[in-house]
Amino acid sequence: MVMTKNKVLIIQPIHEKALALLDARDDVSYEVLTDFSEETLLKHVGSADAITVRDAPISRKVIEQAISARIVSRHGVGFDNVPVDLCTEMNIPVTIVGPVNAVSVSEHTMFLLLAAARVGIELDSAVREGRFAARANTLSVELNGKTLLLIGCGRIGTKVAHRATALGMRVLVFDPYLSDSTDMPITLIGSLGEALKQADAVSLHVPLTDETQGILGERELALLPQGAIVVNASRGGLIDENALIHAMRSGKLHGAGLDTFEMEPLPPESPLAAEKRIVLSPHSAALTEDALIGMGMKTVENVLAAFDGMLDPELVVNKEVLEEER
C-alpha cells in the first residue's frame, strides 16, 4: 500500500537543519522553490498541503489556488506579505515563528541605534578616505542618560528595553495593547504625541497594518526634540520616508538607522542612500546564523503541528480559524 504524503511547498530556501525535520517524517514530502514569481507559484501551489514562505510576496491569486493548503507558515514574525484575510476566509491558519529571532533583531536594533548616535558611517568613511582629522568636527552623542521611546513592546521590543536599560537609557513605551501591570524596566505612555516630545531616540516594533501605516510621519517627527534619532528594524511603511529625509536635511534629527523600507530592495537612487547619517542595512536584522536556524526549524515545526492537529494558538495570526475547527 502506497502512503499518501503531505506535500510542503517551501517558497525560498530554509536552513538544512529545518529540512532535516521534514526528512525525518515518512508522511511528508517537500519541494523548494527558488523562483517565487506568481507564475511559478501558481504552477505548484494547487497540490500543496502546506506552504512556507520567507519574505516573498504571496498574492491573493496564489492563495485562491491553494485549495489543499492546511497552513501558511511564515519564516519570521511579520505577515504583511501574506493575504491573511483571504487565508481566514479559506480557513487556512497563518503562523509565525514567535520569539526565535527576537535576540537577533533586538541586537541589530541596538547596532543601528549606536551607529546612528556615534555617526558610524561618517567616521568609517573618513578613515577609509584618509580624513583622520574628521574626528575633530564629527560630533557623536552618548546614549547613557537619554530617553528611548519604543513604539510597540512585544517580544523584540522587550529585549530592546532591557538592552537599552543596560546602557543607562530611560525607556518609554507607547503600546495600547500592553498591560499596565508589566514588570519591565519601562514607563508606559498613553499618548504617542506626548511620548515623542520626551524621546531622544525612537525605535519601532510593531507590524505593518492599516493602523500603523505611516505612524511616524511629518507631524510625529516634528514633535521629537532637536537632535533625536529614529530607528526602524520592524517594517518599511511605518515611517514616511520623505518626511524622514526632510527631518534629516533640516537638521532636526541627529541620525537614523533603517533595516526596512517602503520599497524593497531600496532603489540605489533613493535619497535615503545619500544621507551619511542614516545607517542602512538590507532587511537583515534577523539574518544571523542562530536566528536562521531557529526560524527555519520553527517554521517547519508549525507545519508539522498543523498536520498533527497540534498548532500552538500563540503562533497563529488568524486565531479565528482555530475556532472554526472546534
**Sheet architecture: strand order including 50-53:** 28-33, 6-11, 50-53, 72-74, 94-95
Which of 264, 314, 320, 324 is flagged as catalytic? 264
Are 257 and 231 within 8 A, CB to CB?
A: yes
Q: Identify the residue whose cell numbers are 482555530.
A: 322
Which of 15, 44, 70, 235 is flagged as catalytic? 235
Question: CA 74, CA 53: separation in Å to the nearest integer?
Answer: 5
Are 72 and 87 within 8 A, CB to CB?
A: yes
Whether 264 is a known active-site residue: answer yes
Question: CA 13, CA 66: separation in Å to the nearest integer?
Answer: 20
CA 56 to mean position of chain CA atoms = 14
Which of 75, 163, 277, 283 is flagged as catalytic? 283
Whether 283 is a known active-site residue: answer yes
Give the angle 56-57-63 at the CA atoms, nearest 5°: 115
Q: Tell me the CA distances in angstroms from 219 to 239, 247, 258, one per residue in order.
A: 11, 11, 19
Residue 124 CB partners (closer than 8 Å, separation 6+): none
3-state helix, strand, coil in the chain (%, to 5): 40, 15, 45
Q: Identify the residue whose cell numbers are 499518501.
A: 4
C-alpha cell at 1: 500500500
Q: Tell me the CA distances in angstroms from 151 to 177, 185, 189, 216, one per residue in order.
A: 11, 15, 10, 10
Q: Is 177 exposed, middle or buried (0-12, 13-18, 19+ CB in 10 A)?
A: exposed
Question: CA 124, CA 132: separation in Å to the nearest integer?
Answer: 10
What are the residue numbers of the active site?
A: 235, 264, 283
